[in-house]
Amino acid sequence: MNDKIRVPIWEKQNLTVEEAAEYSNIGQNKLRAMMGDPMCTFSLKVGSGKTLINRKKFDDFIAKKMEI
């Protein structure tokens, strides 16, 4: 039995690349390329290897774009 609480993607503060791809319908490779841009405002480094996407900043970023 798995007692772990599952939080819906739209309620999470930070998303994995996989969750952000599902949430936004943008491919994982494209998201990783966007996160690699030094001007990216929505990525968050956790430790030395993990990078998350701040959902609210990502939503704001997408809302301002006409093309990605």
Check: pTM over 0.85? Answer yes or no: no
- The more confidently predicted of residues 3 and 19 is 19
Per DSSP, helices labelled H in the chain are 17-24, 28-35, 55-64
- Domain of residue 55, residue span: 11-64
Residue 3 lies in a domain: no
Count of the separate structural domains present in the chain? 1
Whether pLDDT at 61 is above 70: yes
Q: pLDDT, tens digit, for every residue of 5-59? A: 888 888 999 999 999 999 999 999 999 999 999 999 999 999 888 999 999 999 9
Domain holding 26: CATH number?
3.90.105.50
Structure tokens that stand for 49 in this block: 């290897």
